[in-house]
Amino acid sequence: MNKRPIIVALSLGALLSGIGCLSWAAYGIWSQSDQQLEAAPAVRTASVEPSAAPGPAAVVSYPVRPMKGDGVGTLKIPALNRTLPVIEGTDAKQLAKGVGHYAGSVLPGEVDNCILSGHRDTVFRRLNEVKIGDPLVVQTSAGTFTYTVRSTRIVHANDETVIMPTDHAVLTLTTCYPFNYIGSAPDRYVISADLVAGG
C-alpha cells in the first residue's frame, strides 16, 4: 500500500493547523495593542472645552518691550502657593532665575498665545498638581492678568502645537516630563489657560 498520499495529507493538515494558530495569536496581539492605543489618550490628556466664549480681550499697553534677561513680572500659582519671577528668554541663564517667557510669543494679557517655560525640578516642580479650573495670575507693568486653566496635556518634546497662535488671550505653561525622569526628558507637560480678567 502506498503511504505517500497519507503522509502528504497529514503534513498539509499540520501546516494549515500551524498557520491557523499563528493567525489567531497575531490577531490577539493586534487586538490588545489596538485597545491600549485607544486607551492611551484618556490617560495622557485631561482637558475640557471652554463652557463659554473666551474671556475678555484686555487692552494691554507695553510701551517698552523687555529685552532678554529683563524681568517681565511675576506668575502666581495659588494652587501651589507660589509666586515666581518671570524673565524674558528661555535660555539656561534665564531659566536659572525663574520662569522664562518665550520671546517668540506675546506678552501676558495680549491676544494670542503667551508661553512660559520652567524647569520641572525648580519653579515648575509640582506643576502637575494644578487642576482644570484653577487660576493663574500674571502681574506685569501692563497690569494684573488672571487666567483660568482650561486643559492639561502631555506632548512629545518636538510637538509644535504648543507654540501655535490662538485667536484669544491664552497662557501656556510648559515643563519637561516625566517630572522624575533622569536625563533629558522626552516629553513636555503643558497647561493651557484662558484670560478671564485683567488690564
Q: What is the pLDDT along the chain (199 residues), one digit of tens a residue?
A: 555 555 555 555 555 555 554 444 433 433 332 322 222 222 233 333 443 445 555 567 788 899 999 999 999 999 999 999 999 999 999 999 999 999 999 999 999 999 999 999 999 999 999 999 999 999 999 999 999 999 999 999 999 999 999 999 999 999 999 999 888 899 999 999 999 998 6
168 is known as an active-site residue: no
* CATH number 3.50.50.60 given to 48-198: no
Residues 6 or more apart whose CB falls under 8 angstroms from that of 188 comprise 154, 155, 156, 157, 159, 162, 174, 175, 176, 177
Active-site pick, 21, 114, 168, 176: 176
| pLDDT reported for residue 14 | 56
| pLDDT reported for residue 35 | 29
119 is known as an active-site residue: yes
| pLDDT reported for residue 37 | 25
Q: Is residue 163 within 8 Å of residue 115, measured between CB atoms?
A: yes
Residue whose C-alpha is closest to residue 171's, from 69, 36, 54, 71: 54
Beta strands in 10-89 (DSSP E): 45-47, 71-77, 82-88
DSSP letter, residue 26: H
Active-site pick, 101, 114, 119, 156: 119
Reported pTM: 0.72
Domain residues of the chain, as ranges?
Answer: 4-42, 48-198
